[in-house]
Structure formats: C-alpha cells, structure tokens
Amino acid sequence: MLHPPHQSLQVAAVPSQRAPARDQAGPWHTEAVCRRDEAGLFFAPSKEPTAARLAREEAAKGVCARCPVMIECREHALLQPEPYGVWGGLTAAERRVVLARRRRREMELKAVSPGNRIAAAG
C-alpha cells in the first residue's frame, strides 16, 4: 500500500500505513498539493467523532480540489485500492461506492458483449 503524499501524524503511528513508496506512485506524486501542508487532514485519528470527521474530510477535499494531480491520485487509490483516508477528493466510503459501480458496469458490459450473446444463444 502506498502512502499518500500528505504526511499524517496518525498514519505515522500505524505500521501498515507507513513507508511511502513515491517511486511506485509515478510522477503525479511530486505535484501533490498535500506534500506541502495539511498534515493530519487526510486520515482519521482513532475514535474521531462523526462531526469532526465530516469537517476534516470536507477540509481535505478542499485541498484535493485545488490539487493538479487529483485525477491521478484518485485513480491510484481506486486501483490499489487504498482502504483508508481521503485520496483524490474521495473518502474511503466514496471510493467503495465508485468501485462497486465500476464492477457492476463491467458485469453489465460483459453480459451484453457479442461473445456472451453467442454463447447464450448456442
């Protein structure tokens, strides 16, 4: 799992989220707005109250909205997939929704592909 460009004190304490691998991330990582500031905004501290989480996530999304590599970051987080934190302007829950929609769409496309229609007819 790749660590996002932003550094979080909470994340630094969690071994599974440590060890940035910028060389694996590609060039987008060097352009990340969150490399320079907003530490602690992108990952939830333990036992974060809901209202605080929502406010923090909105603030993180605001940072992402002005990031020149938001699309690349989002795709990275979807493809890995990254299970925690705000990446590319999406929370983990929002990424799960996007992935579920993609899977459903892929299944629908497979169902109507010419190869499947021939198999179903035969």
Q: Choose one: 16-24, 51-59, 82-90, 108-116; the region binding ligand SF4 (CB under 6 A).
A: 82-90
Using CA atoms, how far residue 99 sits from 12, 51, 88, 92, in Å, is: 27, 26, 14, 10
Question: By C-beta, is 31 or 108 nearer to ligand SF4?
Answer: 31
Q: How far is the CB of 89 from ligand SF4 (least distance, A)?
A: 6
Residue 2 touches ligand SF4, criterion: CB under 6 A: no
- 39 C-beta neighbours (distance < 10 Å), count: 15
Binding residue for ligand SF4, selected from 67, 84, 91, 95, defined by CB under 6 A: 67
User: Could you give the string, one character per residue 13-42, with x where binding to ligand SF4 holds by CB under 6 A and - elsewhere?
Assistant: -------------------xxx-------x
11 membership: H or E segment, kind and range: helix 9-12
Q: Choose one: 4-12, 13-21, 46-54, 94-102; the region binding ligand SF4 (CB under 6 A).
A: 4-12
Contact call for residues 45 and 22 (beta carbons, < 8 A): no
61 membership: H or E segment, kind and range: helix 50-65
Cα 68 from Cα 55, distance rounded (Å): 23
Residues that bind ligand SF4 (CB under 6 A): 4-6, 32-34, 42, 63-64, 67, 69-70, 73, 86-89
